[in-house]
Amino acid sequence: MRTHKAIMQLLQEAQTERRCAYSRIPSEQSALQRRAQTGELVNTYRGSPSLYSDSSYWNQLTPPEQTLHIAKGLAHAHPDWIFSGLTAATAYGFEHQWCLHNGSVSIATRHHGTQRLHQGLKRVYMPKAFAHTRRDSATGLLLVSPAHALIECAHEYDFRFALPFFDSALARGVTVEEIIEAYGKSHHNIVPVFHLLQQANPRSENGGESLMRGTIYEDQFVMPRIQVSVKDPKTSSEYRVDFVWRLNNGRVVVAEYDGTQKYIDPSMTGNRSIQEMIVKERERDDGLRRAGATEILHVTYPEVIDRVPLHLKLLKAGIPQRADTSTGMS
């Protein structure tokens, strides 16, 4: 397709600012649309204005980055928009599952009710949140407060998907008092927020572990201790275990969340090969057994998302459910 200097400039400026491109000039809008029809560009947001990004550039972005690119494009066009919910939580850097991103963004509104003009934009009734908005230094977006973003996520997502937001937020310095105060200025039901605050723990290392713990809670299993330090009596090596249950019958069950990154991310593997990582894992398991672990469960992200494999592993390991009082934790 013929080079269009104005379009190239729009796209370049947008990429430099890490946002999606748009134009209010009809001829340029038509040029952007034509390029999207050929696949050269991606139409990332079909609204007012429509947003676009270079296809190869867009496909290299993670889902959270894509959401922020859309939000920053809209903020460029609508400087007074205040972003909320998942969009704000993403801007604040709170841990969560990427599968929650569906190409839409959330903004706060003073108008009563939650309205979707189209699938790409969700307007959330949050009139009292306007007094607590802030300009995010990292993204430049105007956001509801972290506490208001958490409350919205608590009502938008199932418990197990909302827990990572809360764990991460507490680890980043958001306080329970701030969340409760923000709730008092919202129109939401307190129950989901209360349950999340009961179980939230800033010691959770990542969103995957939080998701697993949230799934354990939803499936009514006795909750484990997390991030427990143990020492191998033979080698004196110290390990930090993701989840530990010490059962009344004397058994100690350990569960490790095995995200795929631990095998492929150089920052986590120390540039070791997968085979070396497997050997290290076996050595770790041997050390945990010497330290008292009766059984060691390795759980993957797909098993947590599916939830049935995780459920069956916990049942097979003898982890009691909260409705069952015949066994439990000491």
- In the chain, where the domains are located: 1-60, 79-202, 225-316
Q: What residues have CB less than 8 Å from 57, skipping those under 6 apart?
A: 15
Q: For residue 281, which of 309, 300, 262 has the smallest C-alpha distance?
A: 262
pLDDT for residue 119:
75
* DSSP letter, residue 52: E
Q: Are 204 and 167 spatial neighbours (Cβ–Cβ below 8 Å)?
A: yes
pTM here is 0.89
pLDDT for residue 117:
56
**CA atoms of 288 and 286, how far apart (whole Å):** 5
Q: For residue 242, which of 172, 303, 293, 315 has the smallest C-alpha distance?
A: 293
pLDDT for residue 295:
97
Which residue blocks in 157-307 are alpha helix, DSSP H?
Answer: 159-171, 176-183, 190-199, 207-218, 261-264, 266-269, 274-290, 301-306
Which residue blocks in the chain are alpha helix, DSSP H?
Answer: 5-16, 26-38, 55-59, 63-77, 85-91, 146-156, 159-171, 176-183, 190-199, 207-218, 261-264, 266-269, 274-290, 301-306, 308-316
Question: Digits of tens for pLDDT over the chain (330 positions)?
Answer: 455 899 999 999 999 999 999 999 999 999 999 999 999 999 999 999 999 999 999 999 999 999 999 999 999 999 999 999 999 999 999 999 999 999 999 999 987 655 555 679 999 888 888 888 999 999 999 999 999 999 999 999 999 999 999 999 999 999 999 999 998 766 667 899 999 999 999 999 999 999 999 999 999 999 999 999 999 999 999 999 999 999 999 999 999 999 754 444 445 445 456 677 677 889 999 999 999 999 999 999 999 999 999 999 999 999 999 874 433 333
pLDDT for residue 325:
41
**CA atoms of 319 and 325, how far apart (whole Å):** 12
